[in-house]
Structure 1
Amino acid sequence: MPINHDTNFLQNLPKNCAVQFLDRVERSANREAFRFPRGEAWESVTWRQAGDRVRRLAAGLLALGLEPEQRVGIASSTRYEWILADLAIMCAGGATTTVYPSTGGEDTAYIVGDSECRIVFAEDESQLQKLRDHRAELPALGKVVSFDAALADGDDGDWVISLDQLSELGDAHLAANPSAVDDVAQAIEPDQLATLIYTSGTTGKPKGVRTLHRAWVFEGEAIKAQDILHEDDLQFLWLPMAHSFGKVLLSTQLACGFATAIDGRVDKIVDNLGVVKPTFMGAAPRIFEKAHARIVTMQAAEGGAKEKIFLKAFEVGTKVDELKLAGKPVPLPLKVQHALFDKLVFSKVRERFGGRVKFFISGSAALNADIAAWFHAAGILILEGYGMTENAAGATVNHPDAYKLGSVGQPFPGTEVRIGEGGEVQLKGPHVMAGYHNRPDATAEALTEDGWLRTGDKGELDDEGFLRITGRIKELFKTSGGKYIAPPAIEAKFKAICPYASQFMVFGAERNFVSALITLDPDAIAGWAAENGKEGKDYTALVNDDAVQAMVGEYVDQLNAQLNRWETVKKWKLLDHDLSIESGELTPSLKVKRNVVEANNKDLIASFYTS
């Protein structure tokens, strides 16, 4: 079946996100909308139940005096209450301003202050304390709504109220004005502000991306138009809702009507997949890298016949895939082998993810094609997509019936993609931002005079319209020998080869060779240590262990064998810690802040070229 490029859906888009949600509540009233953990069990709510709660909260915001397009912050991890708050803000005509729970106090104050938030939903004591510490700098902030009811009884007076107290304000408002929420929802124009998402950025202060109602509505309806998700699907959602990838999946849910199981605890993803048994999930590539590494290292640890069967299965699976993707018939003996290995190996891999996954969606960073092919051989399809916060997260995506591994797919219907000067990918469509909040200079740099978004990514379109991203333009560097290096391509190759790697960062701008800094995945290397008589050693001790150094060195040699001579890594070093969001070396969407890592290790990198 060919991918749907029909743009007729653009003629019948819901007016705004609030109307889109309220219409979904009416159409799917008794169907499951959300499920979420309560202790050890999962609680489920219907669309009607969610709709009733959102109306009360929205009315509460109106009772507090919220006016159209005024900003309301959410400082919280991904949880059901985040969704309720976001939907209530939009139904009250406000604009959601997102704050990652890991954001420090100063940056939280900067975001809340720059956006002039009138109200902030705060998850817990730690988020509330950030606001308390900077209250004097936030004159516009009149009220904090805590997800933790106990915090409303503290020493903050009526500055802090609970969700239930906000609902009670809403009840009183609705008693006096029964149609208040519906009236506000119907009055919201498509070009009104819906969200301010502050890009975590890999450099400088975060910039607030002004995304309009029409952008989020378009995103959800464009995915619905491709007919790949339906009411009977079940999503597992763990992504940070402060990130545009999480937000676009909510827009898609409103358009398609499927249920979503929500739990933002990253360490619970694999366990939750086995319990929830979703039909699809969105994730960053790091999640797939970790899952791949975990399965491969577990099999290697078992050794013997089981490991041989495992390796042979993927050898056969890869051959079958190559033939199918090339449009060639699969010989009968190979089919029989594949069916056997599917029963012995691949079905068990799929079961680890719940056994019902139709596809995963990968976004926010580049997915290594070898890892995508490995999953595909096991019967797990990862559809890689492409977009950025500045275009409401989605611009292109592979389709279950039209995909190319290693590409980020074809444009959404209604989205235009062109390759501009220097090979830059540029985007145009209803989803492109209105600009950066209070940053006309940055807006002028990001948007061309004719309305195209400059992505800063280098890419190429093939003759079927599939887009391939070849790197960040600013990340490309030239060695002193005049050769251009694309770090992401080299880095992704290493992480596909080495199951113990967490991060691999190459350097060498204006130098005579390429060097690298490497971090290991703490869980993976702890497993290796247990199998190699080094159990109990901490991470720092392990990365300095001669056997670990030799093992990593062998993987670097494997990498170099696949590279051009001028790309090969001549010197490298294992860092004594893995990169983390808390250390400031990763963004909340798990992208490496290359400039921070480079600055933190300036002397070490310099030593590669002086010793």
Structure 2
Amino acid sequence: MATRSGCPCCSVAEEPKPVPLQSSNAPAALTPADQLWSTSKDTAVRLRMEGSGPAAYTPITAHQMFVETVESFGDHPALAYKEEGQWVTMTFKQYYQQCRAAAKSFLRLGLERYHGVGILGFNSPEWFISDIGCIFAGGLATGIYTTNSPEACHYVAANCQANILVVENQTQLSKILQVKDQLPHLKAIVQYKGQLQHRASYLYSWADFLKMGEDMTDQELNTVISSLRANECCSLIYTSGTTGNPKGVMLSHDNVTWTVRTALSVVNLERGQEVVVSYLPLSHAAAQMFDMWMCIAYAVTTYFAQPDALKGSLGTTLKEARPTCFLGVPRVWEKMEEKMKEVGAKAPPMRKKVAAWAKAIGLQYNYSAMNGEHAVPWGYSMANSLVFKKVRAALGLDRCKVCFTGAAPITKDTLDYFMSLNMPILEIYGMSESSGPHTVSCNEEYRITSCGKVMPGCKTKLDKPDADGSGEICFWGRHVFMGYLNMPEKTAEAIDQDGWLHSGDLGKHDQRNFLYITGRIKELIITAGGENIPPVPIEDALKSEVSIISNAMLIGDQRKFLSMLLTLKCVVDDNAEPTDKLSPEAVDFCRRLGVAATKVSEVNANKEPAVYNAIQEGLERVNARATSNAQKVQKFVVLDRDFSIAGGELGPTMKLRRPIVAKMYQDKIEEMYAGARL
């Protein structure tokens, strides 16, 4: 793989000048504070520190953490990105210099303390540099989802009082220009990709932007950096706004630095030895922690995927970067599984037999390892050589030590599938309000379908547990956010008077303190008969029974019985939009039933009896396992197209947006209940 050293942003010399570091060993300064939470962007909070253990670690700022890494790994590759088809690398010294240059330019453009810098674009070095540079300059780094409408962009920019917006290209710029006049705090817009299509005094190219701060001295910037405090806000993560306006999750320097270092202490990674691929939306806490902050904390090299990563190019990037750890949301793992099954279905009979034999051994071995027995079955080495290593190489995960999943529920079937290929997927659980992770699984200690154990220095409380021990999961620790920006009522709902963060998720522990998610309070369906039903287990069960189903959403809140909205697996186009064409796996499903359909519309046109009967039979098998009649699904409807991010049914991390889906398909839902007497 061809690589060269350089910088994507301006003319950085191959031999950089000495980096003006400040001492990373200086004692951490904290702003005096009595409260554990705040809703004002300029108000500090009291850290949840303890007298010993991880919760007693000395607080540091994001800048101090960066300097520690530059001092030890200054010449190590930090960022890798493609330029004219070749990989280009940037060292940690160059990365740090660029962040300082951006900080100076932000200040010259008029960035005020505790005001936002909104970043709207796909993952890139410029995204990272804008985020970190903003924080160095005393601003609030604020990611904006690329899928946001102009109105949604306006809400975030106005809420954080953004002085500057950094956009990727003309497409994103056009959104901002539509609402620019409604943003009184906005002083400048910077476009970091492509040529500016028109000129204005407030518009800057990336190169022109970085030149803005060249006349600022290092001492001037160091004065600003020295004023940063570990218990003050540095970053805003906006929720997706499924049930109302997005909430600005305020994260402090300590939230970021303490959380990433503590989470990494659980996982067996080595400083200066790891590689990750950045492709998930950086407006999301998980992606920022995994791609950006882990890179800085542990001198990890971050490779940037292409903008069409989730449309198909991710596989190519993985094979070129060969990451040592990888985070995939459940839908990414499911897509990999579907693709491998599609390839496997076309294999010769003998190869299919070998694969089935190897997967049985892989599942046996990995369950044994998970349980601490490490019994190696006969034939494991051969299975590893013939199948497991080849699968890993084909996926670009041959060097991957740890495979993670998070952000949404994942099915046991998918976990088992990868276990059978000698690739255990480890679950992480948390939320934006916990700076990302709260519980972490590791290769040495995990349980399938569990999201791991609580991070060192943190605590979990199960509030109001039921007879089975399942209660609302509450968090305590230095990872708990400061509060929601300008939303005291919402903050009071999330953080109780004793300082516990209420997640809204239901969970329980096993005898070894592994946490299992059993549902979500807001997702709980409460039937007309008053029975509480978690939808995810029922939805996952049906998808496992009927392989043609892509998405399932349980309906029944305040209803007399349960019903379901279903979609079929289909091919997506270059824009990741679902098409009418059935996926190869769905076509195979139809063929096995003697159905010639190749399109969703053909299945739905006359409610293809064989397919609908197969769904009904799968539903009956699921119902047979229901714990009560109230948990049995009585009706279903197959929708004309699959759910997608662009369609609005899925969030940026492909999590189901239930209230929005229910509203979108209200007519279909009402039809299922019209005149019902069940």
Gap runs ≥5 in structure 2: 1-49, 466-470, 573-581
**Pair 1:541-2:613 in alignment:** no
Q: Which moved more, 1:350-359 or 1:475-484?
A: 475-484
Q: Secondary structure at the match of 1:405?
A: coil
1:486-522 deviation digits (Å, cap 9, x = unpaired)? 1011223334444443311111234343221112332
Between the aligned partners of 1:602 and 1:62, the Cα distance in structure 2 is 49
**Pair 1:275-2:323 in alignment:** no
Between the aligned partners of 2:55 and 2:372, the Cα distance in structure 1 is 34
Between the aligned partners of 1:77 and 1:461, the Cα distance in structure 2 is 38
- Counterpart pick for 2:537 among 463, 482, 489: 489
Contact 1:197 1:389 in 2 (8 A): yes
1:340-382 deviation digits (Å, cap 9, x = unpaired)? 3333332232223221111111111122233212212211121
Between the aligned partners of 1:308 and 1:498, the Cα distance in structure 2 is 23
Between the aligned partners of 2:182 and 2:506, the Cα distance in structure 1 is 40
Per-residue deviation, 1:600:
1.6
**Pair 1:568-2:632 in alignment:** yes
**Pair 1:398-2:441 in alignment:** yes
Question: Equivalent residue for 1:584?
Answer: 648
Contact 2:170 2:194 in 1 (8 A): no
- Counterpart pick for 1:253 among 295, 317, 321: 295
Question: Equivalent residue for 2:23?
Answer: none
**Pair 1:164-2:207 in alignment:** yes
Question: Equivalent residue for 1:79?
Answer: 124
Between the aligned partners of 1:482 and 1:309, the Cα distance in structure 2 is 51
Q: Structure 1 residues 276 and 456, CA, compared in 2 at 3 Å: closer, same or farther?
A: same
**What TM-score does the superposition give when structure 1 sets the normalisation length?**
0.92
Between the aligned partners of 1:535 and 1:86, the Cα distance in structure 2 is 52
Q: Secondary structure at the match of 1:346?
A: helix
Q: Which amino acid aligns with 2:649?
A: E
Between the aligned partners of 2:202 and 2:68, the Cα distance in structure 1 is 34
**Pair 1:66-2:107 in alignment:** no
Q: Which amino acid aligns with 1:20?
A: M
**Pair 1:242-2:283 in alignment:** yes
Question: Equivalent residue for 1:98?
Answer: 143
**Pair 1:599-2:640 in alignment:** no
Q: Which moved more, 1:440-449 or 1:184-193?
A: 184-193
1:173-205 deviation digits (Å, cap 9, x = unpaired)? 2xxx22233332222001221111110032111
Q: Which moved more, 1:206-215 or 1:371-380?
A: 371-380
Identity of aligned residues (%): 29
- Counterpart pick for 1:40 among 85, 105, 108: 85
Describe how 1:144-155 pairs up with structure 2 within 5 A.
144-151=189-196, 154-155=198-199
1:548-590 deviation digits (Å, cap 9, x = unpaired)? 5455455445544544453333322221111122222211121
Q: Which amino acid aligns with 1:194?
A: C
Between the aligned partners of 1:6 and 1:368, the Cα distance in structure 2 is 40
Question: Equivalent residue for 1:469?
Answer: 517
Question: Equivalent residue for 1:289?
Answer: 334
- Counterpart pick for 2:229 among 186, 189, 196: 189
Contact 1:143 1:159 in 2 (8 A): yes
Question: Equivalent residue for 1:202?
Answer: 242
Question: Equivalent residue for 2:480?
Answer: 432
Between the aligned partners of 1:324 and 1:19, the Cα distance in structure 2 is 39
Question: Equivalent residue for 1:311?
Answer: 356
Q: Which moved more, 1:306-315 or 1:34-43?
A: 306-315
Per-residue deviation, 1:45:
1.3
- Counterpart pick for 2:345 among 276, 291, 300: 300
Q: Structure 1 residues 9 and 415, CA, compared in 2 at 3 Å: closer, same or farther?
A: closer
Q: Which amino acid aligns with 2:287?
A: G
- Counterpart pick for 2:505 among 457, 468, 478: 457
Q: Secondary structure at the match of 2:636?
A: strand
Between the aligned partners of 1:508 and 1:471, the Cα distance in structure 2 is 16
Per-residue deviation, 1:12:
4.5
Gap runs ≥5 in structure 1: none
Describe how 1:325-364 pairs up with structure 2 within 5 A.
325-328=370-373, 330=375, 335-354=377-396, 355-364=398-407
Between the aligned partners of 1:606 and 1:530, the Cα distance in structure 2 is 30
Contact 2:54 2:457 in 1 (8 A): no
1:530-551 deviation digits (Å, cap 9, x = unpaired)? 6568999544335547255455
Between the aligned partners of 2:277 and 2:644, the Cα distance in structure 1 is 24
Describe how 1:437-452 pairs up with structure 2 within 5 A.
437-452=485-500
Between the aligned partners of 1:281 and 1:414, the Cα distance in structure 2 is 25
Per-residue deviation, 1:13:
4.1
Contact 1:219 1:252 in 2 (8 A): no
Between the aligned partners of 1:306 and 1:416, the Cα distance in structure 2 is 49
Between the aligned partners of 2:628 and 2:597, the Cα distance in structure 1 is 39
Contact 1:504 1:519 in 2 (8 A): yes
**Pair 1:523-2:571 in alignment:** yes
Q: Structure 1 residues 315 and 168, CA, compared in 2 at 3 Å: closer, same or farther?
A: same
Contact 1:448 1:454 in 2 (8 A): yes
Q: Which amino acid aligns with 2:667?
A: D
- Counterpart pick for 1:479 among 527, 534, 542: 527
**Pair 1:503-2:554 in alignment:** no
**Pair 1:416-2:459 in alignment:** yes
Between the aligned partners of 2:406 and 2:303, the Cα distance in structure 1 is 19
Q: Secondary structure at the match of 2:110?
A: coil
Q: Which moved more, 1:309-318 or 1:83-92?
A: 309-318
Question: Equivalent residue for 1:388?
Answer: 431
Question: Equivalent residue for 1:223?
Answer: 263
Between the aligned partners of 1:487 and 1:143, the Cα distance in structure 2 is 46
Q: Structure 1 residues 543 and 172, CA, compared in 2 at 3 Å: closer, same or farther?
A: farther
Q: Secondary structure at the match of 1:172?
A: coil
Contact 1:19 1:185 in 2 (8 A): no
Contact 1:273 1:352 in 2 (8 A): no
Q: Which amino acid aligns with 2:454?
A: P
Whose helix fraction is larger, Structure 1's or Structure 2's?
A: 1
Q: Structure 1 residues 30 and 404, CA, compared in 2 at 3 Å: closer, same or farther?
A: same
Contact 2:551 2:568 in 1 (8 A): yes
Between the aligned partners of 2:615 and 2:646, the Cα distance in structure 1 is 26
Q: Which moved more, 1:308-317 or 1:382-391?
A: 308-317
Between the aligned partners of 1:576 and 1:154, the Cα distance in structure 2 is 42
Per-residue deviation, 1:429:
1.2
Between the aligned partners of 1:418 and 1:310, the Cα distance in structure 2 is 44
Describe how 1:102-113 pairs up with structure 2 within 5 A.
102-113=147-158
**What TM-score does the superposition give when structure 2 sets the normalisation length?**
0.83
Q: Which moved more, 1:541-550 or 1:74-83?
A: 541-550
Contact 2:494 2:501 in 1 (8 A): yes
- Counterpart pick for 2:219 among 172, 179, 184: 179
Per-residue deviation, 1:217:
0.6
Per-residue deviation, 1:26:
2.5
Between the aligned partners of 2:123 and 2:597, the Cα distance in structure 1 is 33
Per-residue deviation, 1:603:
2.4
Between the aligned partners of 1:53 and 1:72, the Cα distance in structure 2 is 16
Per-residue deviation, 1:425:
0.4
Contact 1:237 1:281 in 2 (8 A): no
